[in-house]
Amino acid sequence: MSILIATSAAQADAGHKKHKMATSQEQIMVAHPWVRATPPRAKNGAAYLKVTNHGKTVEKIISASTPVANKAEIHTHLNEAGVMKMRHVPSLDIPAGGSMTFAPGGHHVMLIGLKKTLKVGDKVAITLVFEKAGKITFHADITKSGAKMGRAKVIIHSVTPDGVGGPLGTIILSNSTEGLIATPHLNGLSAGKHAFHVHMNGDCSPGIKDGIAVAALAAGGHYGHMAKHGHGHTKKHEEPHKMAGDMPDLTVGADGRSMMAVVKPGLTMAEIRGRALMIHSGPTMAHGKHAGGDHRIACGVIPK
């Protein structure tokens, strides 16, 4: 649903009923606003939408507010060396005749200090303040987390040549404007960097290679363009043959926990469902080789 929103609260309510109403300058359009539902006692939330500027000059979003939180701010995610980090954006330009999409993994309205749980089926009033158009209020539907994007929770297990072990935690996968985001919630790994990939087969079972038992061998090789077409794996990590499933290394702290999200540009949930996530014993070195050998230490199957 697309909505042209008026600048007063009364006009906003009327616009919500009529589904379409022009601003005083008929320049700003807010479309498809939604807010992710939150679990009980969640401190923060996020809103997503598309803002289009039909005017002939640049418009600027300078602030935001909502009655359901102590404050609201424009935030974005930045890809810094493969690691997604959230940043506050003091103001945001909407180009003349252009638009800006607020989406998971990119720009969003951060709802900080929630005053209540955001439940599916309810609505949230949000006000954006523009430099020229002034205040524009709209109502966003609250939807189930992940309903508006590709998303999956992968349970990660330890793996050895003897079989699949106990769970180490989860990795949340989600599509974003930056690419595929992998957010780990893991405990029990050795500190440092660990090579991290999508593998072809959704099976973490061990296997026999050259007469030797290998952990998670059933997962096959790395997912990527060469593998998809059945080609060999010669120089598979070297450009321009680097696999699509080669994710940035995961970082594990001294406490054995890994919580820092990474992003892989160009990869989507649609192409990796039913495959496996693999964590190796050491970091990715030059030309994609793994320090200490190609030891597979943790694995999880991505739900279809």
Q: Which of 145, 122, 2 is nearest to 66 (CA)?
A: 122
Q: Are 69 and 116 in contact (CB under 8 A)?
A: no
Kindly report whether the global pTM for this prediction surpasses the value 0.75. no
- On whether both 119 and 197 belong to a single domain, the answer is no
Residue 60: which CATH number? 2.60.40.1890
Per-residue pLDDT band for 232 (boundaries 50, 70, 90) equals very low
Domain boundary among 143, 175, 191: 143
Assigned token pair, 77: 């995610």
Residues 88 and 107 both lie in one domain: yes
Q: Round to whole Å and give the CA distance between 45 and 241.
A: 40
Question: Residue 14: what pLDDT?
Answer: 41
H/E stretch holding 10 reads: helix 9-18
Q: Are residues 110 and 27 in the same domain?
A: yes
Task: Count Cβ atoms below 10 Å from residue 260 Cβ, excluding itself.
Answer: 17
Regarding whether 294 and 155 lie in a shared domain, the answer is yes
| Per-residue pLDDT at 185 exceeds 80 | yes
Cα–Cα distance measured from residue 231 to residue 291, given in angstroms and rounded to the nearest whole number: 25
Which of the listed residues 126, 143, 160 is the one where a domain comes to its end?
Answer: 143
Give pLDDT tens digits for 236-248: 444 433 567 899 9
Domain end, chosen from 108, 143, 178, is at: 143
Verify that 236 and 168 share a domain, yes or no. yes
**Residues 124 and 176 occupy one common structural domain:** no
Here the CATH number for the domain that contains residue 183 is: 2.60.40.200
What one-letter code names the amino acid at 164? V
Q: For residues 189 and 295, what is the distance between their CA atoms, to the nearest angstrom?
A: 13
For 51-62, the pLDDT digits (tens) are: 889 988 999 999
Residue 188: CA count within 13 A, CB half-sphere: 14
Q: List the structure tokens of 81.
A: 């060396």
Give the pLDDT band of residue 208 (cuts 50, 70, 90).
very high
Please list, in sequence order, all residues whose beta carbon lies within 8 angstroms of the beta carbon of residue 227, skipping any fewer than 6 positions away. 200, 220, 221, 233, 236, 243
**For residues 174 and 216, which has the higher predicted lDDT (pLDDT)?**
216
**pLDDT one-digit tens code per residue, 135-172:** 999 999 998 754 445 788 999 999 999 999 999 999 99
Residues 127, 171 within the same domain: no
Tally of structural domains, the chain:
2
Number of Cβ within 10 Å of residue 261's Cβ equals 23
Confidence at residue 82, expressed as pLDDT on a 0 to 100 scale: 61
**Could you tell me the residue range of the domain that residue 213 belongs to?**
151-301
